[in-house]
Chains A and B, each alone.
Chain A
Amino acid sequence: MSEIEDKIREIAKKLLEEGKVKYFIGYAKGSDAFCAKPIIIDDPKDVDKLIWSPCCVNNLAVYLVDEIKKKPRRGEEPDLRPVGIIAKACDERGITVLLQENILPRERAYIIGIPCSGMAEPQKLEKLAGEKGISHKAIYDMHIREEENEFSFEAEGVKEALPRDEVLADKCKECFQHNPKECDIVIGESVENPQIEKYVTIKELEDMSLEDREKFWEKIFERCIRCNACKEVCPLCYCEECTVEKAKPMRWCSKSVDKSNNAFYHLMRAMHLVGRCIDCGECERVCPMGIPLRKLYKKLEKEAEELYGYEAGSSSEDVPLFAAFTNDDPDEFE
């Protein structure tokens, strides 16, 4: 792990010193040990803040959209240099969708891909730390590492292995593509993609009757507080004005927080993510109310695959699902 970290710092330093990138988006140590936080640096002196650990879960591609949306100040020449960005395989798929949809010009990002065989889920780490009775003070100084495919933590002078299965993020357990493709440079060895059975986690829901499924989601959506975190962390939710915010000439979605409007919000989002969601799992990770959003998107991922043989973000050369049409497309409504 630390080799990767050193390499990240070295590359970032070089890119920034040579002025090849406008700034660099990476990970820094979070305020507690469980989750690293995104950091944007433009000074080569700051590269030592960059880290690489099993806690680097955030999808940084969301900041590329920020960059593209930036408007230069009046009279100022826009700085069109690329932005350096660290991308795990899932993050890279997000970037690929941005490329496919002509949101991001390829030359605006310098992508540093890191093959990844899974990240730890912050909530699971926190739970485990609680069970192990790690003191609050130690939580801040704790180090979580990956060495030779094993997770471990070090706190208060004690080093202990972390059972991979217990702490691995759910999305990583279902990941079948560990290696980023659309990169300017790759750090680390490529990892073998696992043979996994896709879509097992949604099987239970699929087997439910329509009524039960409706009840399931209704109960869950009722909990939603519409903080919009799911759409704000999503690199592919980049609309200038979201339907839920649109108030002129009319409101499509009331500000009233109830199961009907909440369901509208989530289903609208889901429909807009068919064939686009790359399962980075950020929406589910950040949801304070524990809404299992990945289940919703996973189902749509399955539909896109089964009906059109389409896999989101697999190549920047692919025509986006909604922009493609062939005479062989299934047409159930005929």
Chain B
Amino acid sequence: MDDMVLKKEKLSEWSNELSGYKLIAPSKEDDVVIFKETANLNMASLDYANSVKPPKEVFFPQTQELFRFEKTPEVKVSEGKKQTEKVLLFGVRPCDARSLLILDKLFYWDSEDPFYRQARDNTVIVGLACTSPHHNCYCTSVGGKPYSNEGLDVLMTDLGDRFFVEVITKKGEEVIRRPNELFLTATSEDKTLRDEIWEKAESEITKHVDVEGVHDKLGELFDSQYWEKKAQTCVGCGICSFLCPTCHCFDITDEDCGTCGRRIRTWDTCMIPEYTVHASGYNPRPGKKNRLKNRVFHKFRYFPDRFDVIACVGCGRCISKCPVGIDIVETLKEVKEQEEVKD
């Protein structure tokens, strides 16, 4: 499909055309931007560097009911609800879109996760290129761009009064139906303007780290004293993992009420001691140093070993929201400077 433009005032009309879709878009509540269901895309809050919570929860909700059970007196088991309706997820930033390709690797790995699969298949992702990245953004250091279209079905760029619209996939084509009055063919001026905006956005990303060599270096630092020093001030909350678009660990628990109940899957975080504690009471990762180290290792060594991609998209949420200012970019730079620990 040719590149197009969509006038901002036409967002509402376009929303009406999308009658078969549940619309999810960024919405601002008390200054907190999160993705929420909306009746019309013209109600979306578009004035944000990025949402506080990544849109991963559309595919991997914080609480997922796997099944329900009941004894009446025979035992009945019913499967948890999957996402069957079509969803249009609007305003996703390129880093978060890339994170979904990383999550795909995990959720489609040895066995396919049916809940995730259904949600992925039934969702069209319309991205919005970053026009003014946050000062903690560092996507360009981990293979991203503020205007990357990886993982997106449609990429839009805000040109002021209109969006520059690029259809990336077949799924995207379905929501940008033509011919109609809404989407007009982009002119060369539109394209020039888009390029300028892209370039400006990229130049505004000033946080950088060269991740080349981090993987190997980490291998040498498993027993380094560095982790103890680094983790000293960590308070062990779950902000960095819960807000991370690529963190995907979960816990499975039962909620039962005697004769009925349900099994749920909830987000978990490797930053808390309960994450690894054994039934015996033994904890292989007893200290903050073990846990902080694990998180860095998982993103920059274990995940690349298994799936050939770094599990970080450079969204900067963990930096911005860490209560004690632990900065992953700083950590990676320090890792590179550490001396190897020999046995």
- Interface set of A (CB-CB < 8 Å, partner B): 30-32, 35-40, 58, 62-63, 123, 135-137, 139-140, 220, 223, 225-229, 232-233, 245, 247, 251, 254-258, 282, 285-286, 288-290, 292
Tell me the bound Cα distance from A223 to B32 in angstroms: 10
Contact between B32 and A256 (Cβ–Cβ < 8 Å)? Answer: no
- Is B39's beta carbon under 8 Å from chain A? no
* B194-216, CB < 8 A from A: 204-207
Contact between A232 and B235 (Cβ–Cβ < 8 Å)? Answer: yes
Contact between B135 and A139 (Cβ–Cβ < 8 Å)? Answer: yes
Contact between A58 and B135 (Cβ–Cβ < 8 Å)? Answer: no
Contact between B237 and A232 (Cβ–Cβ < 8 Å)? Answer: yes
- Interface set of B (CB-CB < 8 Å, partner A): 29-32, 34, 52-53, 62-63, 133, 135-136, 204-207, 232-233, 235-239, 242-243, 251, 253, 255, 264, 266-267, 269, 272, 274, 319, 321, 323-327, 329-330
Contact between A288 and B321 (Cβ–Cβ < 8 Å)? Answer: yes
Most A CB contacts (10 A, CB to CB) among B237, B274, B323, B329 go to: B323
Contact between A62 and B235 (Cβ–Cβ < 8 Å)? Answer: yes
Chain B proximity of A55: nearest CB distance (Å): 10
Chain A hits for B327, CB < 8 A: 31
Tell me whether A286 and B266 are in contact in the complex, defined as CB-CB below 8 angstroms, given that A136-B204, A140-B135 are known contacts.
no
Chain A hits for B136, CB < 8 A: 31-32
Chain A proximity of B279: nearest CB distance (Å): 9
Tell me the bound Cα distance from A125 to B243 in angstroms: 22
**Pair count A-B, CB < 8 A:** 115
Ordered by A's residue number, 29 sampled pairs between the chains whose C-beta atoms are within 8 Å are A31-B329, A37-B325, A40-B232, A58-B323, A136-B205, A137-B206, A225-B53, A225-B62, A225-B238, A225-B243, A226-B238, A227-B269, A228-B272, A229-B235, A229-B238, A233-B323, A245-B272, A251-B253, A254-B264, A256-B63, A257-B63, A258-B63, A286-B321, A288-B243, A289-B32, A289-B52, A290-B30, A290-B52, A292-B30
Indicate which residue in A135, A220, A228 contacts B238 across the interface (CB closer than 8 Å): A228
Tell me the bound Cα distance from A39 to B230 in angstroms: 10
Contact between B233 and A37 (Cβ–Cβ < 8 Å)? Answer: yes
Chain B proximity of A84: nearest CB distance (Å): 14
State the main secondary structure of chain A at its contact with B.
Answer: loop
Contact between A255 and B253 (Cβ–Cβ < 8 Å)? Answer: yes
Chain A hits for B235, CB < 8 A: 62, 229, 232-233
Contact between B31 and A290 (Cβ–Cβ < 8 Å)? Answer: yes
Chain B proximity of A69: nearest CB distance (Å): 11
Chain A hits for B269, CB < 8 A: 227
Contact between B233 and A232 (Cβ–Cβ < 8 Å)? Answer: no
Tell me whether A30 and B325 are in contact in the complex, defined as CB-CB below 8 angstroms, given that A232-B235, A290-B31 are known contacts.
yes
